[in-house]
Structure formats: C-alpha cells, structure tokens
Amino acid sequence: MNQEIIEFLASTTHITDENNEKIMRFADELIEDRANFFPLAEIAVGHTDMSIKHAATIYINKIIDKINNFWDEIDQSEQNQFLNSFISILQSNLSPSALHTLLHSIIILYANVNCEWPDLINLILEMLNSDRIKTGLKILNSIFVIINDATYAQISSNFLNIAFNSLNSPDIELQFQGSDLLANCVKKHQGEEIDYSEHVKLMLNLVLNSEKLHHDEFCEFWENVKLLVFLQIFTPEQVLEIAKFVFTLASDEDMSPDIISMPLRSLIPALDSLGEEAASKLLEISIDICARTIKLDNEIPVDQLKELEDSFHSYSHQEIYPIIRTIVLEKLSSEDVSQQIASLLVFSVILTEAKDCAFADIQPILEFIDSAISSENPLLQQAALTCINKFDDSFASINVHGMHFLSQVISLCASPVSAIRDVAYQAAETVLNPSDHKIPGLFADVVKLLETLDTVAEGEEGDAQNITETKWSSFLSLLAPTINLSEEFEDEQVDEILGLVENIMSEHGDNPSFLMPLLDIGVALIRRDETQAEYILEMLNPAVSLLLKDESQARNIFHADYFLKNIALTIGDASSEFISPFLETLISRLQININELILSGSLESLAQFVISCPSLKETVLEPLLKVIVPAFSEDDGEEGIVPTTAMATARALKKDFPADVQLLVFQKVVDIAVEDTDDADDVGDAFLTISKIIKYLHEENKEQIIGKCIEITNSIINATLPFLHGQQLIEIPSFAIVARPIEHFLAAVLRYPVPESDAICKFLLEWPIESTEFEADDITGAYTEAIKTGVISDDIREGIFQSVNQMFQNCQDPGVQQNLVFFLNTILRANHSVIEQILQFLPVIDEWYNIGKNQIYGYQDTLANIASLYLEIAAAMPDFPDQQLIQAIDEFPPSDVLETPMMAKCLLTIVPRLNNADILGHVALALARFVVWDDKNIEKSKIDQSLKDQLYGLFKQIVQQNESLMGVLQNDYAKQRAKMRRLQAVLN
C-alpha cells in the first residue's frame, strides 16, 4: 500500500487550521491522477482502520466523479480494472458510512457501462441470500431505477418476497431497506394488478416506529410513504391511521420542524380522502410547524410551507382555499406573533400558487400586509415584505395595489436589520418594475437612502467588504427603475447620477457587484435622454468588457448580455457600433458545453440584435439558426441547447425565420406540444411559441402549418392531446399553467378563416367564466380574432356577446377590463350597426374610467382603450357627451401605443365638426403631446406618415385659430427646450 496516501488519509480524520492547507493541496494532487484510484482501492479493501477506509472511499468517489465525463476515452482494459477493483471493495468489510459514500460511484459506473455489469448484479444477488442482505439491498436500491429491462426480468422474480421478509425482520435498518425495495417495485410496476396488502401492513408498522430511523433514512422512508399514498397502495383507513400518527408526532414540541415536515408532506396526495376535519388539521399543523420554526430560530424560514404549495399544485383551489383561509384568519388574530408571521407567509404562497384565490380575496390579504409592514416587529415587517415580493409572480394586475406600500418599503431599505433591508430593496423593485405611471417625489425619496448607506450597517456582524458591496449594489439596483419612473427628473438629476456612476467606475471598476447595477442605470439614463447615449456607452464600455470576460462567472456574463440586449432595444441600429466589438464573444458562446445561463444570455441578446439592429442582422442570424434548430431534438442539452431556451429564442425571432427554417422549427415545437408528458411548463412554452410563429407565416408554409394547427386544435377540443390523458382541458390539475398559452394558440389560429372557427369559439364558450384575468383575459383575445376574421356563425357571435356581457359583471381587474373594451372596439370598427348594443355597456365602462383615473397605477392601458372606444363612438355619434369626449382626448396619445392610429383617425373625423373652443383646446394639447412624443413610441404605434402629417396640420390649424394656446404651450414646455423646439418646427 502507498504509505504516503495512508498518512494523508489519516490526517484528514483530524483536520486543524495548521494542516488544512497542506491537506487541501495533497487532495487536489491525489484526485488529479486517476491512477491513484488503485492504491486507494487497496486501502479501502485491506486497511484495518475503519476511519482510514472511509476516508479512502471519499477520494475514490472524487476520482470517479472526475472520470465520469471521459469514461469512454479510457481503454477497455483499464475500465475493467476499475470495475474489478470496485467489486473487491464492495466484497470487503465496509462501515455503513463508507458504503453510503460509495453508492454515488456505483451509480456512475453502472450508468457508464450501459447498465451491463454482470459482476455487480451477481454480487448483489449473492448478498441478498446471505448475512450481507442489508448491503445488497442498499446497492440494489441505489441502481434500481437504471437497471435495464432485460436484467430486471432475469433477477426480479423474488424482489417482493425479499421486501416482505425484510419488512418483517426485527432489524429496523433491514425493515427500512425492505421499504425502499417495495417502493421501487411499486413504482416499476405502476398500473399492474399486484396485491401489496400484506406488504403495506408491515409498512404501517414501520410508520409507527419510524422515529427510530436515522435522519436520512427517516426522510427517505417518508418519501416512500408519500409515493405509496399517491399511488393509493394504502387503504383510506390506513392513510387515516398514518395521519393520526403524524399528528401525534407533530404535537411533540421536541421534534425538529424540519423532521416533522416530511411526514406531513407524505399526506398531501391523500388530502381529498382524509375528510375535511383531518385535511384542515394537516394544513393547520403545517402552519403551526412554520410558527414553531420562527419562534425557535427568530428568523423567517425558507421552504417551510411546502405542504401548502403541494396542496395547491394537486387539488382544486376552490376546495383547498376556504379551509386554509379559515385557519389563517384565526391565526392572524392570535396574540402569538410567530403565528401571525406564519400566516403572512401563507399569503405569500397563495399569491404565487393560487393566484386566482389571491385575486378574488385580495382586500383582506392587503389589509394584513398593511398592518404587518406598519408594525414595530422586524419579523412581521419582513414577512409583509416577503408577500410584496411575490407580487411579480402573482396575478398581472396586482401592481395596482403594490404602489400603496411603496413609501413604507423604501423607508425599510434603511433598516438596521440586514434581512429586512435586503428583502425591502427587492420589494421596492417588485413594486416599481411593472409601474405604468410616473411617481411624484420618487427620485428624492430614493436618493435619501444614499445618506444612510455609510451608517445603516454599523456594528453588523459579517465580512465588512461583503456588507458594503451588498448595500451599494442594492441601492444602485433600485436607482435604475427610479430614473425611468421619476416625474421630476431634469438635467440636474442626470448630472448627479452621472457623477455617481463616474465615481463608482473610478473606485470600484474591477468589482462586478458594483458594475452590474451600473449597466442598468446606464440603460435607464439613455431611455430618458438618448442624446447622452454615446457618452454613457463610452463610460460603461470597460464594465461590459470586464463582465463578459470570465466564463466562470455566469451571472456577470448574463448581466452584460442583458445590457447589450437593452441597449439594442432602446436605441436600435444606433447601438451597432458599440455592440459590434462584442459580437465575436457572444457568438463563440453558442455552444453546447457552456453554462446554460451564459448560453441563454447570448441567445437573448443576439436575437434582439436581429430584431433591432438591421446592420448586424446578417452577421448574427445565421449562427443563431445553426444552434436553435438542433436544440428541439434534445432532452438534456448535451447535444444542443435545451428546448426551453430554444423556444424563447424562437419566439423572439418569429418574424425572421426563412421559410424552410420556419417550417422545421414549427414541426419541432409541435413535437413538444403533443408529447405525452407531465411537464406543463414545457407544453405551455410550446403552445406559446406556436402561437407566435403562426402569426408570421411564409405563404408557402401556410397550408401545411395551419392544417397541423387545426389537427392539434381538434385534439384539444376532443381531449385526445396526449398531455390531457383523456381529460378535458379545464379538468386537468395544471390548467392554470397551460390555459393562457393554449388560449394564445387558439386566438392565433382564429386569425385565419378556418372552418373550425365555430368549434373553437364553442369550446371556449363552454368554459366556466369568472370575472378574473385567468379565465377571461385571453379568451376575449380569441373572441376578438374570431370577430375580426368574420367567419363565425350568427349563433356563435351571439354566444360570444353574451359571454362578454357576463364577464362585464363585477369585473374589477384592469387587465380584463382593457381586453373587454378592446373587444367592443373591434366589433364597433367592424360594424357600426352594433353601436346600440355597445352603448349598453357605457355606464360600467364610465365607472371603470373613474376608478382608473383615481387609482392611476396599473390602469393606463385600460384608460387608453376606453378613450379609444369613446372616440370610436363619438366619430359615429355626433351627439356623444362632451365630458366623455374630453376624457378621451386627454388620453391621446395613448399609453397603449397600438391604439394611436385608430384614435388619430377618429380625431380627424370629429374635430372638423367641433365649435366648442374648450374641447378644441384639449385637442391642441393632445396633439402637442403627440408632436413631442418619443420617436420609439411613434415607431411602435405603426402610424403612417400621411396620418402624422394630417395630425400636424390639424395642430397647426387649431393653434393659429386660437393665439392664447401658444401661451399655454410655452408655459407647459418652458423647462423642456428640446420639446418646445419640436413644437415650433411644426407650427412654423
């Protein structure tokens, strides 16, 4: 044996500060040469000191890990040496911990020999018939799921007997191994008629004695129980007996919350069969365990409410939510603060996992968040901030409510408690990012935080440099959205921020923690004033170069890619000169053996260059296509990029595929959409991608692609799509995940005059409609396409109108309101004869308008669509009320820029018949806003030059006829010289 290695292994059993560096250096050298496996194997087999044998297995594991990636490059004879030595190790006297360590290597080697290792299988069978049965079971259970079918057929005839005998043994460790084998067999033989009744009786005995298992075995055992509960191997009576035991276990205050959570989760698959009382008790205990953790650790626990998440994933929200709601409301009124905090964390789960319930019950949730964030208790504040932080993962229109908390959230960014500070900064960004309106005083409030940065963490334990980096990166990350949303943001503020950026670049130009948020600030400044672009890009060029350089830092590279993408999006082809030097690096990273985050960043930025930078398109598109197309054939990304990433890129490039590539990508995505899978996210991604592709079809592809889409549509309607497993779409547990992508798909199909239009609309009309964005939002989009195409029958058209009328009742969500108003607008534009029907909706729409003007945040696009409808009606009805006409004019140009052309045409129809000076004044101010509107908005609005010229002419005419308007304009734009110059250019 190699004495030097033995001495090294002995030293690892008592590491000290003095010998640690030496040990680490020797360990690296030991692992580097795979030949060291063999002396380590000799030590594992023959040494008498069990601790040294165990240490040897640890380094054997590390070497096997290292050779895993190039096993096929090792010649056959050396491979056989590895396998034979491993068998010798397993035949030797190993401690349980040494054997446990080696299980990882056994799996790797068995997989690398294509699950053909007769010596290992023979050894297992030999052990199963000897006093080493526990070792044999451990090895068998570790490789069970990858044993090939041929081998399994030869060796498995006695497995259930072995499992039964093991479970019947007085040795609890052998019982555990038997339970593991039983679970593996049950999983393997799902759907087969096998009687496990005697086995599960013994499993039930082990359940009642499971406290005696070691921690890892306890957790694994309860995972097995969960599987058997899920597959309904236990009878309902046995499940209730398990539940009683778990409830008793949970009542033990000495039981660790982490430990008890495993048995609790095992019962979630049986929630509907437990009965309401037991189900309620299970969910209540889950919250109690969370509260106990908070009380013990005095901090917010991570992943402590997994049982609730699982319950929302597995069962109807309408059945589960009322139970949870009753429990939570009771606990929120408790004097125990930890119970209140745990209940707030339940809200954070509801906001993300049961968005429909959160939407319907948002007011009490907001009230409790408000109460908690206003309290003096730091953990209550943190729990409230955690809830607010979930807003961006909840229903789309929740930003209507988020703004209410902004001032309190920003003040907590200066908290002396780092945990609160960190989550407060995140919550502030969560509230600001979706905002659709400027916020008075925002910049001043955020800049005040600068004054606290030096003192806020004084005396805080931890690495001083890390604390400083965290404080500054959090502040700088918040500054970027502040620039975009601040109402008062003039040259003075721009200079202040540019000075800050310059100082940080000078002092911390080599520190990614500072540089990444500076890139976001750069984009925000350029969006605010494109004339600064060249100066800002030159200043930030070193930061981009540094972040892109180190491939070991995926997050840094992704952030730099994201910056380049946003610059292209913001200033278009004007960014090409800045971007060009980085292209080679980005294109070189379109390869299979690179970190997925890096690859994703390169794909996203390059796709944006194709869209926004015509001068770069030819350079970028070809390498992009070369890597995207093969990706859809791969399941694991080893031969190409993963399909999810490829689909996101395909959606971005939807307009730019050549005809042959378009057809190929479509076919690949369809394969994902129609496969028999339980991965709802992949299916949703696929349908969303198809919906984008079919909007921009090449003429030669239309017949084939639309034909295939009709085939898929019929399989959705008839519940024959493999993903549905014979259930109607609205009945599947993952309906909330796939509904919107499938609605997008159906709406895209309805763009074409297909004979199945009636059937598609009938299918959607049969869905139970509630006034929430989840059922209604995209359905109205599909209805709109059907009406626009004009091939549906009168009966279906009437059915759609009735459905929309139902959606109007008690609708409170601005997203749904916007779509409903857009739908009415589409009908009216297609046929003015329906105006009387549409006028019936005006009282409700007027109310929505008033709410939107009062709420401000989250309603801008809704207000734009209401204004567009008002103008459409006014163009057709000369006696339309002046008040509503003024309201509509004041929304021009609209925040929903695509409404601009239609609103402009209506104005050109309405204004010539106006003789009201007040209304004409409102028109002049609206047209002035249009004249100074950002060029990007003009481009996005797709308004043609002829229409622009007519609006400019109308503006000039009105101002010339009323000289006082010139004074109003000069006053309004006194501090915005560039805009005033644009107005004067049109007027002169």
Termini Cα distance of the chain: 97
- pLDDT for the residue 559: 93
774 pLDDT higher than 70? no
Name the burial class of residue 883, with classes exposed (0-12), middle (13-18) and buried (19+) by CB atoms within 10 angstroms of its CB.
exposed
pLDDT of 872 above 60:
yes
**677 with 639: CB under 8 angstroms?**
no
Percentage of the chain modeled with pLDDT above 90: 45
Query: Please, which residues bridge with residue 301 across strands?
Result: none
pLDDT tens digits along 12-44: 766 545 555 666 676 677 777 788 888 888 888
Q: What is the pTM of this model?
A: 0.76
Q: Counting Cβ atoms within 10 Å, is residue 82 exposed (0-12), middle (13-18) or buried (19+)?
A: buried
pLDDT attached to residue 493: 80
What percentage of the chain carries pLDDT values higher than 70?
Answer: 94
Q: Of 441-455, 703-717, 889-903, which gets the smallest average pLDDT?
A: 441-455
65-104 pLDDT, tens digit each: 888 877 888 888 888 988 998 899 899 888 888 888 889 8
Query: What single-letter DSSP state applies at residue 800?
Result: H
Residue-level pLDDT at 863? 94
Give the integer Cα–Cα distance in Å for 332 and 347. 11
Q: Closest by alpha carbon to 308, among 258, 254, 250, 351?
A: 351
Query: What's the Rg (C-alpha) of the chain?
Result: 33
pLDDT in tens, 337-383: 999 999 999 999 898 888 878 877 888 999 999 999 999 999 999 99
Per-residue model confidence as pLDDT tens digits over 151-190: 999 998 899 999 999 999 999 999 999 999 999 999 999 8
What pLDDT shows up at residue 601?
87
Tokens of 366: 């907001």
State the pLDDT at residue 461: 60
pLDDT of 276 over the 90 cut: no
Q: What is the mean pLDDT of the chain?
A: 87
Asked if residue 898 has pLDDT above 50, the reply is: yes
Q: Span 280-287, mean pLDDT?
A: 88
Task: Quick: pLDDT tens for 837-850.
Answer: 899 999 999 999 99
* Distances from the Cα of 851 to the Cα of 403, 407, 812, 844, 859, angstroms: 15, 22, 10, 11, 9
H-run or E-run covering 99 = helix 96-112
Mean pLDDT of 671-679: 86
pLDDT tens track for 456-486: 655 566 556 666 788 888 899 999 999 888 8
The DSSP bridge partners found for residue 439 are 486
DSSP string covering 962-976, please?
Answer: -THHHHHHHHHTTT-
780 close to 772: Cβ distance less than 8 angstroms: no
Question: If pLDDT is split at 50, 70 and 90, which confidence band does 776 have?
Answer: low
Listed residue (227, 230, 237, 228) closest to 196, CA to CA: 228
Question: Angle at the Cα of 125 (from 120 to 127), degrees rounded to 5?
Answer: 95
The pair of structure tokens assigned to 266 is 């095992």
Mean per-residue pLDDT, 189-212: 91
How far, in Å, CA of 620 to CA of 612, rounded? 12
Q: Does pLDDT of 436 surpass 80?
A: no
- Res. 433: pLDDT tops 50: yes
Contact (CB, 8 A) for 639 and 633: yes
- Nearby residues of 257 by Cβ (< 8 Å), 6 or more positions away: 289, 290, 292, 293, 296, 301, 304
pLDDT for 637: 40
Mean pLDDT lowest for which of 21-25, 191-195, 234-238? 21-25
Instruction: Say how far apart CA 402 and CA 27 lie, in whole Å.
Output: 53
pLDDT at 632: 67
Q: What is the pLDDT of residue 640?
A: 42
More confident residue, 858 or 850: 850
With 70 as the cut, is the pLDDT of residue 633 above it?
no
Residue predicted with more confidence, 445 or 317: 445
pLDDT (0 to 100) of residue 224 = 94
CA-to-CA distance for 197 and 821, rounded, in angstroms? 60
Does 639 have pLDDT greater than 50? no
Q: Model confidence at 259, in pLDDT bands (50, 70, 90)?
A: confident
More confident residue, 104 or 630: 104
pLDDT at residue number 55: 84
Mean pLDDT confidence for 9-14: 71
Average pLDDT estimate for 937-949: 90
Mean per-residue pLDDT, 280-304: 86
The whole-number average pLDDT for the span 904-928 is 93
Smallest CA-to-CA distance from 255 within 226, 221, 280, 218 is with: 218
For residues 417-443, give the mean pLDDT.
88
Mean pLDDT score, 293-300:
88
Q: Which of 55, 54, 110, 104 is nearest to 82 (CA)?
A: 110
